[in-house]
Structure 1
Amino acid sequence: MQNPTNNILIVDNETSIRQSITKVLERSGYSVFQAESGRSARKIITEHPISVIISDLSMPVMDGMELLKSIKNQYPLIEFIMITGHGTIERAVEAIKSGAYDFISKPFKRADIIRIVEKALVKFNLATENRYLKQQLAEIETEKHNFIGNSQHAVEIKALIQRIANTPSNILVSGESGTGKEVIARLIHTNSNRNDKPFVAVNCGAISDNLIESELFGHLKGSFTGAIRDKDGLFISAKDGTLFLDEISTIPINLQVKLLRALEEHEVMPVGATKTYPVAARIIAATNQNLQKEVAEGRFREDLFFRLNVIEVNIPPLRQRAEDIQLLVTYFINRINKSLNKNVQGFSANALHLLHSHSWPGNVRELENVVERAMIFCDDELIHSKHLPPMFSTQENNGPTSLKEAVAHFEMKHINSILSMTQGDKKEAAKMLDLGVSSLYRKISELGIEK
């Protein structure tokens, strides 16, 4: 399998011309495919990733101009260089107007071929990178990948992201399902110097054991039943961007050796290949399992764990940062209002109290789903307890019963919220609460608030 940025296709019905250009390019380190007609050229393109086509203008059946229009219609990023003979300059100019990168006139020199191919590849690579950048900018503009929260936990995680984003080190993101591990991975990527490069995410647990090797490392055509063309693995697709491996603990033990080698040697060997290919992506892995326990029980390699766990970002469950719930709710309401075409302004005090009292086993993902469901059933500006899923009505009946308990519960939530806003600054929090600092410390002790 070839690196897609180095694959050149030569199309010419004259064997001597094809072989002459192939020899020049192969000596310069390029991988070259040959086709004797437009039809065979199209077949090769469906089986191999091609970056640049060099085609003769005058060919029987499908000439170079027809091939150019066909390729640009289906594969607009592939750069096309036309070979012209005497008396065909006008058609060469027409080819450029139709999307060809440049043309080479016969007889051509070795230096001319190399120069034009190098420039065409630069343009191809820029176009490919720009496509990734546009996709990622669109995602950022929709605020899809923010880590929302002002709690001490959230502040510490954001500070850690800023510190580690520009390092090349492998990162392990751990936390329960629904805590936002991919959000953290994307934030690390967008805050790094790789943010204009691809971010490629894969859920290892969603891929069957017999396919995951091909997905990660790629395969050659014919290497197994169903491999009808060469395929780049995700390590190669990520280029020098970021590869996010979610649910890393699900990777089969026999494949962990190959993954370890990819991390240590920065190279991969596709299925069916006999040589390795360099890779440069930064690796971020994620797990909702205790990997140290997996290692102890023989399900995960210890050396791979150490290689992945250079830096760990642990995301606490939502129940441990309940003071972020109101901010998260506001964020979800603003976003979901647009998609549902509603004007919901918030939750009633009682409904918000129920959210704070819930244990959130599904974490932020569960909270988002609850907010969306409540907004669907709400025709007012405020969401009330009646709009929440049935399980919350049970919680409502099991809440604080006495006035003293209810007041204490409210005080605890309110003080936690203010401490979050001041990032733990007790003096500033006391001012906002209109309390003396000593009174605040007494309240913190009485209510059992984490200091």
Structure 2
Amino acid sequence: MRAIIYVTDDDQNVCSALSRRLARKGHLVRSFHSGVSLLEALEYEIPDLLFLDLKMPEMDGLETLRRVRQTIPNTLVVMLTAYGSVEDAVEAMRMGAYDFLIKSVDFSTVEPALHRALEFLELKRQVEYTVMEKQRQFSWDHVIAVSPSMLTVIESLKQLARESPSLVYLHGEVGTGKEFLARILHYNSRPQPGPFVAIRCTEQHSSKLESQLLGYERGAFSGADQATAGMIEHADGGTLFLDEIEHLPISAQEILSEAIRTRTFSRMGGNDRIPINTRFIAASTISTDHGEQESRFHPELLSLFRTHQISIPPLRERQADIIPLAMKNMRTYGEEIGRPKLDMDASVPPLLVQYRFPGNIRELEALIKRAVLCSQGSVLTALDFYSQHAIDPNGQLPPNTIRLHFELGRYSLSEIQGLVIQEVLRLSDQNKEQAARYLHVSPQTLDEQIRALGITSQTTDPSCKPT
């Protein structure tokens, strides 16, 4: 990268020689012979990198460094001295210097320092650009909220963004956008948020979740060959998002609640308490007011959840948002395939609004994406939904209704529950993730029910006929 570099040294020969060397690398270089003249120049231009002599008359390098850091904190400062000492280096680094170099006749130490600084600047710019893009992607303007229930959710999120509590609990059905709203909360919080780290508590075996969350010290268990930071440490200064937290082992929930309460934790196999500045956002399909929560959550963690919890309504309860969401997704997918001017005619909104969307926003997005891919013209019509079998020719979205005909008193409640699950699996082509979305449970919960009820693909009772 081509950088703006300032060189400040009271020795004019040093200034000239170093400036020429840097200019030959293609950089824009300006030189100054005192801290005062440097500070005056900073009122008109901000350099990327500054080489600053430690020993100067009138205003020494450390005082100049202090004022530079107050004025332009993002500029990297490399201190130069012909008479270096450990004390000087420590003090300069403490005050925010990026590097500390001993002057040499041929400036041989400058080349590697310059290379490191420019690499750091490039990486820093990439990170800043990524954060800006994420903040744009997850700005409040990108949240569709027309319905009263969703407007209430957004107001609650904005208040939490201002307050930045250490724990927020989001609950809602599968597909309601819990992770999206967690990212909205993260990227709109102040002060500037750090990393957003997500962990899905169903993607790892329960025995691995604790080590993934907490990290571990060397020798903590078989295979722990070196100390490893966990998700909590990786999210320090930012947000750790725990999706489907009800599947986190109770023992890990207890440790997590202590970390939230004390703002410290220990790695597995370690005794040292590590301070953290991490916000936790937990998500689940279980409300804290639901009877099931008592068996799925540690009591202390459950108590913490109730302090800052937000209930995200299912799409069927926010009908005013369905068409704006559909339009947004239609334009997004249209742009992706080179058809940015797509529109939908008057036949489509009634079809969408009357559907219950058991998969919520996730299902709506998939429905619109398929319709966009099926469409031929510049306007989506009901025929584009007919062609993907999303709706039938009578203009009704298929409710995928299950009708079970059986003699009253023949089956127990658990047996009927098993038949319903089996039919949902059949309608989902044995896709358990899709079936779980229809049933508003997690895939792991569905697996537990299938095992508990002894459901197999051959368990249909011919006297109980689905239609």
Structure 2 length-normalised TM: 0.58
Corresponding residue number in structure 1 for 2:164: 168
Q: Does 1:138 align with 2:138?
A: no
Corresponding residue number in structure 2 for 1:115: 92
Pair 1:274–1:101, CA change in 2 (3 A) = farther
| SS at structure 1 position matched to 2:318 | helix
Corresponding residue number in structure 1 for 2:155: 159
- 1:342-370: per-residue Cα shift (whole Å, max 9, x none)? 24522232222111111101111110111
Corresponding residue number in structure 2 for 1:393: 392
Q: Does 1:199 align with 2:196?
A: yes
Taking the aligned partners of 2:276 and 2:124, their CA distance within structure 1 comes to: 16
Aligned residue pair count: 301
Pair 1:158–1:252, CA change in 2 (3 A) = same
Question: Is the Cα contact below 8 Å between 2:197 and 2:235 reproduced in 1?
Answer: yes
Matched residue type, 2:395: E
User: Of 138, 145, 149, which residue of structure 1 is paired with 2:145?
Assistant: 149
Question: Is the Cα contact below 8 Å between 1:241 and 1:281 reproduced in 2?
Answer: yes
How far the C-alpha of 1:227 sits from its partner, in A, is 3.2
Matched residue type, 1:390: H
Pair 1:380–1:367, CA change in 2 (3 A) = same
- 1:113-154: per-residue Cα shift (whole Å, max 9, x none)? 453376367999999886654323222334688321211122
How far the C-alpha of 1:397 sits from its partner, in A, is 4.9
Q: Does 1:221 align with 2:198?
A: no
How far the C-alpha of 1:277 sits from its partner, in A, is 0.3
Alignment of 1:40-55 (within 5 A): none
Taking the aligned partners of 2:131 and 2:315, their CA distance within structure 1 comes to: 27
Alignment of 1:347-358 (within 5 A): 347-358=344-355
Taking the aligned partners of 1:314 and 1:192, their CA distance within structure 2 comes to: 20
Q: Which has the higher contact order (CA 8 A, sep 6+)?
A: 1
Question: Is the Cα contact below 8 Å between 2:139 and 2:184 reproduced in 1?
Answer: no
- 1:182-223: per-residue Cα shift (whole Å, max 9, x none)? 121122222211334222222222222122112211122343
Matched residue type, 1:116: M
- Please identify, of 149-158 and 369-378, the stretch whose mean Cα deviation from structure 2 is larger: 149-158
User: Of 249, 272, 282, which residue of structure 1 is paired with 2:279?
Assistant: 282
Alignment of 1:422-437 (within 5 A): none
Question: Is the Cα contact below 8 Å between 1:204 and 1:245 reproduced in 2?
Answer: yes
Pair 1:166–1:326, CA change in 2 (3 A) = same
Taking the aligned partners of 1:238 and 1:387, their CA distance within structure 2 comes to: 44
Taking the aligned partners of 1:313 and 1:330, their CA distance within structure 2 comes to: 26
Pair 1:215–1:395, CA change in 2 (3 A) = farther
Q: Does 1:366 align with 2:343?
A: no
Pair 1:319–1:223, CA change in 2 (3 A) = same
How far the C-alpha of 1:263 sits from its partner, in A, is 0.8
| SS at structure 1 position matched to 2:364 | helix
Taking the aligned partners of 2:120 and 2:260, their CA distance within structure 1 comes to: 25
Over the residues paired in the alignment, what is the CA RMSD in angstroms?
3.2
Matched residue type, 1:393: D
Question: Is the Cα contact below 8 Å between 1:266 and 1:278 reproduced in 2?
Answer: yes
Question: Is the Cα contact below 8 Å between 2:139 and 2:188 reproduced in 1?
Answer: no
Any unmatched runs of 5+ in structure 2? 1-75, 100-116, 399-467
Any unmatched runs of 5+ in structure 1? 1-98, 400-451
- 1:52-74: per-residue Cα shift (whole Å, max 9, x none)? xxxxxxxxxxxxxxxxxxxxxxx
Pair 1:188–1:297, CA change in 2 (3 A) = closer
- 1:405-443: per-residue Cα shift (whole Å, max 9, x none)? xxxxxxxxxxxxxxxxxxxxxxxxxxxxxxxxxxxxxxx
Structure 1 length-normalised TM: 0.60
